[in-house]
Structure 1
């Protein structure tokens, strides 16, 4: 049976720019950076969660045809590429401040929600990123 999710894929339009953002601003670490024929297999992971990597994938052959790649690039730039990452943190306000200091464009302030404190932003390619400080579950 299935045990874990090991890789999540996000379409990005420039893998070097994606590295700068995910490693330089969000604090990920490069896990794999290899050229496989026509594609660069580039994964990053949080140091606290190395078992779950994010594949920073170009919409290009061999994963999609050239025609589909153009459609995917257009969708990604509009924020409709389907890429979503959800993170948890122990302190949403502190994380928000640290990300702002690192130059991340944060259009939302942390907001109290029924499940905790949450805020969101987009990566340079339009993929949605949400960060939540989860509230403890109600006691029974």
Structure 2
């Protein structure tokens, strides 16, 4: 029996705004964009990462009632959701490129834990950590 995670969803306040951010600023590509009445299934993928999708979902019917949808929107806007992690080859270069593309960072690159990381939020308030992939040590490379 095989198990694999295909989609991880984020709640966003506006799917068109989120789509523009993830595609135009972060360089993701659209994987699926289909509608069924008022419901929209919208997923994107990071460049070069086949299979795994990030769902950009709007809280509301048919899954949530209006009160729950409002509560979720408020929690996301306050940064209450756990951050996602974007792995990059060079955190400082990615920071410069994304900042020039209009991404607003909550934390400039910082060196710690043997790597470099920075933080930003999407337009809905979802937090991201951008972490530089660590170079393998000689001992790790030999394994």
Question: TM-score by structure 2 length?
Answer: 0.89
**What RMSD, in angstroms, separates the aligned Cα atoms of the two structures?**
1.6
Runs of 4+ with >6 A deviation: none
Q: Output the CA distance in 2 between the equivalents of 1:45 and 1:63.
A: 23
The Cα of 1:87 is off from its aligned counterpart by 1.1
> Which structure 2 segments of 5+ residues have no match?
none
Higher mean displacement: 130-139 or 16-25: 130-139
The Cα of 1:50 is off from its aligned counterpart by 2.4
Q: Does 1:102 pair with 2:106?
A: no
1:60-95 CA distance string (max 9 Å, x none) = 111212221111111111111x25321111111110
CA 1:56–1:137: 2 relative to 1, 3 Å = same
Kindly indicate whether the alpha-carbon contact (under 8 Å) linking 1:115 and 1:134 is maintained by their aligned counterparts in 2.
no
1:4-24 CA distance string (max 9 Å, x none) = 221010000000100110001
The Cα of 1:116 is off from its aligned counterpart by 0.9
The Cα of 1:36 is off from its aligned counterpart by 2.0
In structure 1, the partner of 2:42 is 42
The Cα of 1:38 is off from its aligned counterpart by 3.0
In structure 2, the partner of 1:64 is 64
CA 1:29–1:116: 2 relative to 1, 3 Å = same
Question: TM-score by structure 1 length?
Answer: 0.91
Q: Output the CA distance in 1 between the equivalents of 2:114 and 2:3.
A: 26
CA 1:54–1:70: 2 relative to 1, 3 Å = same
